[in-house]
Chain A
């Protein structure tokens, strides 16, 4: 629950604070093993009962796991939050949904029945979801349009079985990429549906980096800083090409409009720009020769040819589908765009100063925008102080690695390099067999290496059965005491990896 009052964690004198710490207050972080996707459960000790916060719950489609694994995980969450076995309902104080990608929210549909049995108080989403925010709505509209264009283009591309093998490969690549936003999923199983369901779970809280840090009701000494998505659309647009700004929409067709116009059916009742098809044609009607007429023209028969008439001569030079490959660019574009508009938070354990960083899948533009932010908070000495991202990164002891460890979701110089706390631990929510199937480099080797250096070996991967993979390396970099402290705080279970931080 956000409060309007400045946070007063300094009520206790430092002495008293250390006394409280001795009560072994600790936050428990569980990274679930539902597959390639994010699902984190954070549990804080509350005044009366534990406080549960779920950050995302989803997994990319894969041949290695399915709905059952997801349901097992959600059942475990239900159990961990006081529910299960028919009697009590589980209770999540907060569900934070970082962004609308399948690998972050699929669980809400795949295990919907179980979620129905969990009481959710607040749903945290990015400010871009706020219905009254005009800028946010414009962003959303443009996004939807592009998404539709990709979907339509995908339907027009020939599949691999047909003659054009290269186009088939391209189609495959686009559909895999689009898997992030659940395209081509069975009816009803879409990111849209999952997102709507999440918003319906509880009271919506629109997280805004420009506002005061959020508090967790009933939990002492915890502050949540909202880092992103950036308010300034320029940062969101950082990954967009210059030609693709949404202001254009008011003046003429955008590139996406023009492409969408070409792939869509003008008679489609959902068509938002019914005249766009006509407007997107490059030439007046009198110049256009429809296909039926071209088929009777000796020139086009001789110099182009038609599959149904002659499937051989010059077929290799035809260009019927080349123009659709731009859909791949659009898809890449959408992917990074969504990752940039995703909710990123830093959780501060006020007394110890420790910070847990959950950037979602924020990409470069999002990370860079954090440098512009500052917050006025009351320090433990009771004085007002200004907090900047540098302070938070400096004190980060836990980092949820962005975008499954891809190359551009962890900022180097102004990000990871600034995480200098000797106790830093990182978690990567990744499923390498699934990533390998697609030949995706998750985790991206140079980043993985840098993480291991920064965290001195303490990098936990969701697909690891135990510490074996990291043990030798970590022991070389850590003192015996550090290693034993770390391994005691870490637990590997079938369904999750757990790490506990005392504060």
Chain B
């Protein structure tokens, strides 16, 4: 996303002083903030202390809603609102003012566990870095999922609330209810006296991976609010895995960390173990937060050496616990990354070893180290972009890992038509090895995995809709603020909904086959009154413009992503009249090319899909009979209200 650079006259800090017109100084591009690259535990070890401090570069101008706004104490910016209240202790902590000139001159506060203001700076820096990565990959500004209070409409949530010291437990989570990140702190475990001072306090808000992970949950919820509904075994697993993937690859984009590690290594540099081991270490720092990465590899009990895990294609069929299942996806994406990295550095290694593949004795050439680290960081950034961008190509409900692979491939074809680095093959291969592939595809190749392009005959179905969208397309060209994006897309979505309900549906009769939703009554549990309403209820779930730029300056893509959802209330057990009810949703994501005005893809989950309905029913039945202690005692409390709280609980003995 490109934003015009502003030239602002130098302001005097205080409005009462006379403003002298002065020479204009360009606004800084970045705000530099110091922070931990991992978490504080690594700063107390000599071998890692040097790499544990890094500088986070945050956009100086966050694109504020109102003219003249700037980052306030908290920090409170355009996207985030850090509020430091510690309810377990009953104390509040002074908000940090990052615009304080003393702090500006020294890249923020120095890393320190004992100063809450540094904690605020750290969560702000990492969360903003994550937001930035999303915006870059998606080509639009990030929005949080809207808030709905009882009895009123959805409303725009400008800032995600961040509480760095909200809990006194080894836990951190995103609360979809409060649109807030809650971080916990807890007494250090004496399992690892080398890392923690026993009895010392460990802060989850000081770990890069945890902050990035939780921020990702919030960002994903902002795009796909239905993804946190557990209807099948991939639902929570996907949320977890995706958040972990973002945290992991974001970490790999810091070249200084990689440089250090590569420099330490001797011998077989092409060996992928180095990066795999590193990936696992990233997550290990605090408890087993990076547990998902255990699927990447393990330490040999005898030799103590790290070795990659052999993928088992059976796992995807049999493993159902969200973390273990998510681990399969993380491992698959990591495999793809390694394949890409290997290909990228093949020539460098040939040059460095004169084609022999064997490095000379002694210290590695620093230039070589730099080049390898740069390639790894670049590959990581690409993989991160690919993974995030794929979100736009996912169905709005019921994502499974196979869909996600198709989304990755399709998104990549759109942005990088010429796959000379073999990224798509790398992903396809890696997923195949883990047993993840769409069950509806006959052969596995990037071509077959890509969502089908709508042919001209399909195009006819959409014609009326496309015509309508064409008329309003110009409205998407430029929105100034995030609030405007929200308000306008809501308004247009409302108009579109009205048009379909009033007249459009007549022209869209056969549309339902392609779009997964139906405009006729008949299916069990459809919402709406057949006597009063012309068509069953449906929802315009989201409408998002996207401006995508490829890595090599390919022609940018201007797209509109539209998703619609329909819901049925059906019995969990169709043969039991008294059976509890469940929501069964269908819908589609439509991708419209704003330049050619063609609908490119319709990615659907049929509302009348009985096979899918059966999978949901089985999942809910399993849940009802899931005799876990929690299910036994906390059923009535609607765990789903804080779905992510429970996934990370430290007391949870069911965790692997």
Contacts and interface: CB of A to CB of B under 8 A. Distances in A.
Nearest to A237: B653
B394 to A, nearest CB: 28
Contact of A330 (B74, B92, B651): B651
Contact of B178 (A319, A325, A439, A441): A319
Interface stretch (A255-263, A415-423, A460-468, A471-479): A255-263
A262 B149 CA distance: 31
Interface stretch (B133-141, B307-315, B412-420, B623-631): B623-631
A328 B638 CA distance: 13
A106 B116 CA distance: 49
B90 A290 contact: yes
- Most chain A CB atoms below 10 A, which of B93, B186, B628: B186
B590 interface: no
Contacts of B478: none
A323 B168 contact: yes
Contacts of A438: 633, 636
Contacts of B287: 243
B185 interface: yes
B93 A255 contact: no
Interface residues of B, number: 73
Nearest to B73: A299
A406 to B, nearest CB: 6
Contact of B87 (A177, A284, A319): A319
Contact of B191 (A243, A262, A281, A322): A243
Interface stretch (A43-51, A200-208, A244-252, A384-392): A244-252
Interface stretch (B6-14, B38-46, B195-203, B457-465): B195-203
B455 interface: no
Contacts of A317: 161, 178-180
A333 B653 CA distance: 8
- Most chain A CB atoms below 10 A, which of B81, B88, B171: B88
Interface stretch (A54-62, A167-175, A189-197): A167-175
B618 to A, nearest CB: 14
B170 A255 contact: yes
B645 interface: yes
A251 B167 CA distance: 23
A328 B637 CA distance: 11
Nearest to B169: A326
A406 B203 contact: no
A294 interface: yes
B628 A407 contact: yes
A244 B115 CA distance: 27
B83 interface: yes
B182 interface: yes
A99 to B, nearest CB: 16
Contacts of B91: 281, 283, 288-291
Given A282-B89, A317-B180, A326-B169, A251 B627 contact: no
A286 to B, nearest CB: 10
B187 A257 contact: yes
Contacts of B635: 439
A319 B637 contact: no
Nearest to B157: A317
B650 interface: yes
B92 A300 contact: yes
B548 to A, nearest CB: 33
Contacts of B630: 332
Contacts of B645: 325
Given A170-B637, A289-B92, A322-B167, A258 B629 contact: no
If over half of A's interface residues share one DSSP class (helix, strand or loop), that class is named, otherwise mixed; here it is: helix
A451 to B, nearest CB: 14
Nearest to A257: B187
A259 B95 CA distance: 25
B76 interface: yes
A239 B653 CA distance: 6
Interface stretch (A76-84, A121-129, A442-450): A442-450
Nearest to B166: A319
A102 to B, nearest CB: 15
A244 B651 contact: yes
B641 interface: yes
Interface in A247-277: 247-248, 251-255, 257-259, 262
B133 to A, nearest CB: 25
A457 to B, nearest CB: 21
Interface string B174-192: 0101111010111111110
A201 to B, nearest CB: 31
Given A316-B147, A317-B180, A259 B653 contact: no
Given A242-B191, A317-B178, A317-B180, A251 B625 contact: no
A259 B633 contact: no
B167 A326 contact: yes
Contacts of B65: none
B208 interface: no
A18 interface: no
A318 B165 CA distance: 13
Interface in A150-187: 166, 169-170, 172-173, 176-177
Interface string B88-123: 111111110000000000000000001110000000
A444 B626 CA distance: 9
B370 to A, nearest CB: 39
- Most chain B CB atoms below 10 A, which of A239, A253, A335, A446: A253
Contacts of B85: 294, 300, 304, 319
Interface string A286-309: 011111011001011001100000
A434 interface: no
Contacts of A281: 89, 91
Interface in B42-99: 73-74, 76, 81, 83, 85-95
A316 B149 contact: yes
Given A316-B147, A446-B627, A262 B88 contact: yes
A247 B191 CA distance: 10
Contacts of A328: 634
A407 B74 contact: no
Nearest to B180: A317
A317 B85 CA distance: 12
B627 A407 contact: yes
Nearest to B197: A252
Contacts of B266: none
A133 interface: no
B632 interface: yes
A322 B83 CA distance: 15
Nearest to A238: B653
Contacts of B649: 326, 329
A311 interface: no
B519 interface: no
A240 interface: yes
Nearest to A279: B199
A321 interface: yes
A240 B653 contact: yes
A258 B186 contact: yes
B651 A329 contact: yes
Interface of A: 166, 169-170, 172-173, 176-177, 239-244, 247-248, 251-255, 257-259, 262, 279-284, 287-291, 293-294, 297, 299-300, 303-304, 316-323, 325-326, 328-330, 332-333, 335-336, 406-408, 438-441, 444-447
Given A253-B199, A304-B85, A317-B180, 18 more contacts: A173-B637, A240-B653, A243-B287, A248-B190, A251-B198, A255-B170, A255-B650, A282-B116, A282-B203, A289-B91, A319-B180, A319-B182, A323-B166, A335-B633, A407-B628, A438-B633, A441-B627, A446-B627
30 contacts: A239-B653, A241-B651, A242-B191, A251-B199, A252-B199, A254-B187, A255-B186, A255-B650, A259-B169, A280-B168, A282-B86, A282-B116, A282-B203, A288-B93, A289-B91, A290-B92, A299-B95, A300-B83, A303-B74, A303-B76, A322-B166, A323-B167, A323-B169, A326-B169, A326-B171, A329-B650, A330-B651, A406-B627, A407-B627, A441-B631
Lowest 3 CB-CB distances: which A-B pairs, in order?
A252-B199, A407-B627, A329-B651
